[in-house]
Amino acid sequence: MDLALIALFAGAGLASLFMAWVIGAGSSGATPFAPAVGANAIGTMRAALLVGLFGFAGAVTQGGNVSEAVGSGLVGGMSMPVAGVILVLVLGAGLMAVGIITGYPIATAFTVTGAVIGVGLALGGTPVWPKYQQIAAVWVLTPFVGSGVAYAIASILPRPDVPERYSVPVLVGLVAAVLVNVEFGFLGGANSAGTLREVGQQVLAVDGGASAVVVTGGVAVAVATVVWWDIGRDQHGGLQRVLLALGSLVAFSAGGSQVGLAVGPLIPLLDEVEMVSMVAVLVGGGLGMLAGSWTGAPRMIKSLAQDYSSLGPRRAISALVPSFLIAQLAVLLGVPVSFNEVVVSAIIGSGAAVGGRDAVDARKIGVTLGAWVGSFALSFGLAYVATAMAL
């Protein structure tokens, strides 16, 4: 194998690791447990430790879809060269680092997607409009759906006619029903993914749509029953444990979604460097995110937990449920989504339901929205111009 190619791939790998570290220190490392920290259910450092572990697990087991979309689904008619991969990763990580330093959550998905498209089009690639439409729909709808669902849940939980011993188990049962139908790469065959529900059907030696509903419903009822019992014997402690469980699931989902932004640009290079497998790339990205979560995430966790809204356990639960659902939908579709956008929108919705305008910092939100939009435009423009000048 050409030593020059190996050296270039090593350089791209280092840039990918840096990008993974920045993601772990920023969006995926900060947002999953920010509601729990805001509700005083867990300390900042312990949250950073847990989000790193669960993020790594999600990256390895669910990271393939988004990685392939970022690597080969955004620009058609060309394969990105090594130099272009390095430019994409450096631009994306640089803009994310600015967000970490300033304390404002710049959207990772926006920066990386903009950079990939900018470099690809400058190199003569063709736009993939169906994918762009799908991505745009998810990005635009996420703030409305996330904040709307969080607002609805936060409006119901405090009501005296809907006791939390019953409402929270129903929510957790819904999350469990989704979780057993989530695809994991290690549960399928060589080129497919499987679900926990399918494993349950195989164990029970049943098949078909009816058995799928029964298995899903059985798991949901069982989990809801355990939560109902736990909250019944210790309401405050039970809510805290639900909150931590949801934060862990959101951290897992963040790993599965965000690792693709770090390692996705490397995917086109794997055909040229055959000694490196997709699994190895995902593991490397997961380790980079884990390191970022442990070393750089506390600053952003504090920013999100304290600056956007004063969260209690109920409002935090209201924010995490839609965050998990949206994240898993994005993983399924292979759409790069910003966890800052997902969780911040849910935090805003849950805060507005209880405290109205006084519970949310309007100026902070305005600056954040500007950072999201600006990060895509800036990364696209810089990537396009830098690539065009280099040709």
281, pLDDT greater than 80 = yes
Q: Is 345 exposed, middle or buried (0-12, 13-18, 19+ CB in 10 A)?
A: buried
Percent of the chain residues topping a pLDDT of 90: 28
| pLDDT of 354 strictly over 70 | no
Q: What is the largest distance, in Å, between two alpha-carbon atoms of the chain? A: 70
Residue 184: phi, psi to the nearest 5?
Answer: -125, 135
- Domain annotation covers residue 323: no
Which residues sit opposite 379 in a β-bridge? none
Q: Which of 19-33, 59-73, 129-143, 242-256 has the lowest mean pLDDT?
A: 19-33
| 42 domain residue, yes or no | yes
State the pLDDT at residue 309.
Answer: 47
- Tell whether the model's pLDDT for residue 1 goes beyond 60: no
* Pairwise CA distance, residues 321 & 247, whole Å: 9
Is residue 220, in this structure, part of any structural domain at all? Answer: no
Structural domain of 385? 3-148+255-317+329-390
Distance CA 379, CA 373 (A): 10
Residue 115 within any structural domain of the chain? yes
Query: What is the distance of C-alpha 264 from the center of its chain?
Result: 14
Whether 197 is in a domain gets the answer no
Tell me: the pLDDT tens digits for 171-191?
A: 999 999 999 999 887 776 555
According to the model, what pLDDT value does residue 165 have? 86
Per the domain annotation, does 215 fall within a domain? no
Which pLDDT does position 132 carry in this prediction?
93
Report the C-alpha gap between 244 and 370 in whole angstroms. 31
Give me the number of domains the chain comprises.
1
Contact 305, 34 (CB under 8 A): yes
Determine the 3-state secondary structure of 160 from DSSP.
coil
What pLDDT, on the 0 to 100 scale, is given for residue 369?
74
Predicted confidence (pLDDT) at residue 260 exceeds the cutoff of 70 = yes
Q: Residue 11: what pLDDT?
A: 81
- Considering the domain boundaries, does residue 285 fall inside one? yes
Helix or strand run (H / E) with residue 256: helix 235-263
According to DSSP, the β-strands at 183-184 and 126-127 are unpaired
**Region of poorest pLDDT, from 73-87, 97-111, 160-174, 311-325:** 97-111
Q: What is the pLDDT of residue 43?
A: 82
Q: At what angle do helices 235-263 and 3-25 cross, to 10 degrees?
A: 150
| pLDDT, tens digit, 9 for 90 and up, residues 106-116 | 778 888 999 99
Structural contact between residues 32 and 258, judged by C-beta atoms closer than 8 angstroms: no
- Angle separating helix axes 82-102 and 3-25, nearest 10 degrees: 20
**Cβ-contact 234, 187 below 8 angstroms:** no
Tell me, what's the pLDDT at 304?
66
Distance CA 173, CA 227 (A): 9
User: What's the rounded Cα separation, in Å, for the pair 281 and 1?
Assistant: 19
pLDDT attached to residue 203: 87
Q: What is the mean pLDDT of residues 280-298?
A: 89
Instruction: Record the pTM.
Output: 0.87
Residue-wise pLDDT for 50-99, tens only, equals 889 999 999 998 888 888 889 888 998 887 888 888 888 888 877 777 76
Task: Determine, yes or no, domain membership for 208.
Answer: no
Please say whether the beta carbons of 80 and 73 come within 8 A: no
* pLDDT tops 80 at residue 271: no
Q: Is the pLDDT of residue 200 over 80?
A: yes
Mean per-residue pLDDT of the chain: 84
